[in-house]
């Protein structure tokens, strides 16, 4: 039987709990009926609530795997998660664009110290590269502040090639409301505030769901809106810190 599904690729870390990273991404892809593949950037030692250590994959191995997969499969969207540093991220993005110039790239920035990610030198140049080469960047409120500053309005006077989804889970006063910067303006994506309740890996699931929707040909606003609804369902799926995935046909 012919494969009628679009292909979607995750390049991210391996979380043995499957709550986050490539395992969570591929599970999310399957729920949206796209065929998911994955390349790991790291192997982590962790549970759903403890991060102990990380072992990084070398960039040449990652690039060799990319070249092998891209040579056969037409990936419509790429989700990038945990990476070691900006140089690794840049090489992944540049190679993806070389292998498929039309691919849509969703970068979920993970900037906590446990990731080892460094944005402290030449920040503006690094941001310009990402703004010119990513389709969407999905920071939470704190990650946005680390990259662009505390006021999202700074984006309004800039003509960016990328869109930016500022997730509202850490937003004081308006938790649950996301802001999507697109075409020079903001679109509010309202949602439910769970008053602190969350799940391990919600950022991974959200960005993977957006990538899946994009791979199926949906526009960005619809992709972000539908993905947010899926994550809300994911958060409410049970009382533990590890969410369940439900078919979202």
Please give the backbone phi and psi of residue 31, each rounded to the nearest 5 degrees, phi first: -65, -30
Rounded CA separation 169/204 (Å): 14
Statement: residue 117 has pLDDT above 80: no
Q: How does pLDDT run across 44-77, given as a tens digit for each residue?
A: 999 999 988 899 999 999 999 999 999 999 999 9
The DSSP-derived string for 132-167 is HH-SEE--BHHHHHHHT-S-GGGGTTS--SSEEEEB
| Residue 22, token pair as written in the block | 């490539």
Task: Record the pTM.
Answer: 0.94
Task: Tokens 């509010």: give the residue.
Answer: 188
The pLDDT, as a whole number, for residue 247 is: 74
The pLDDT, as a whole number, for residue 195 is: 62
Q: Which domains does the chain have, with CATH numbers?
A: 7-235 (3.40.1190.20)
106-119 mean pLDDT = 74
Task: Tokens 């403890």: give the residue.
Answer: 50
CA nearest neighbour of 165 among 177, 149, 150: 177
161-169 mean pLDDT = 90
Helix, strand, or coil (residue 105)? strand
The pLDDT, as a whole number, for residue 224 is: 97
The pLDDT, as a whole number, for residue 144 is: 93
The pLDDT, as a whole number, for residue 249 is: 54
| Residue 163, token pair as written in the block | 């869109």
């Amino acid at each position: 039987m012919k494969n009628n599904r679009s292909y979607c690729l995750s390049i991210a870390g391996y979380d043995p709990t499957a709550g986050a990273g490539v395992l969570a991404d591929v599970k999310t892809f399957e729920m949206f009926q796209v065929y998911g593949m994955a390349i790991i950037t790291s192997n982590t030692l962790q549970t759903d609530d403890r991060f102990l250590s990380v072992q990084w994959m070398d960039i040449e191995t990652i690039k060799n795997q990319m070249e092998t997969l891209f040579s056969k499969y037409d990936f419509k969207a790429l989700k990038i998660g945990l990476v070691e540093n900006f140089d690794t991220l840049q090489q992944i993005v540049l190679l993806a664009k070389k292998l498929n110039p039309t691919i849509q790239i969703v970068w979920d920035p993970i900037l906590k110290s446990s990731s080892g990610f460094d944005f402290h030198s030449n920040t503006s140049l690094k941001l310009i590269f990402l703004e010119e080469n990513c389709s969407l960047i999905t920071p939470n409120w704190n990650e946005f502040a680390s990259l662009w500053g505390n006021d999202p309005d700074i984006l309004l006077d800039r003509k960016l090639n990328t869109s930016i989804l500022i997730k509202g889970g850490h937003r004081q006063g308006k938790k649950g409301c996301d802001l999507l910067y697109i075409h020079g303006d903001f679109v509010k994506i309202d949602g439910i505030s769970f008053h602190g309740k969350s799940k391990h890996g919600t950022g991974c699931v959200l960005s993977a769901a957006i990538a899946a929707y994009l791979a199926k040909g949906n526009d960005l606003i619809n992709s972000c809106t539908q993905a947010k609804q899926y994550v809300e369902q994911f958060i409410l799926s049970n009382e533990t810190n590890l969410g369940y995935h439900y078919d979202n046909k």
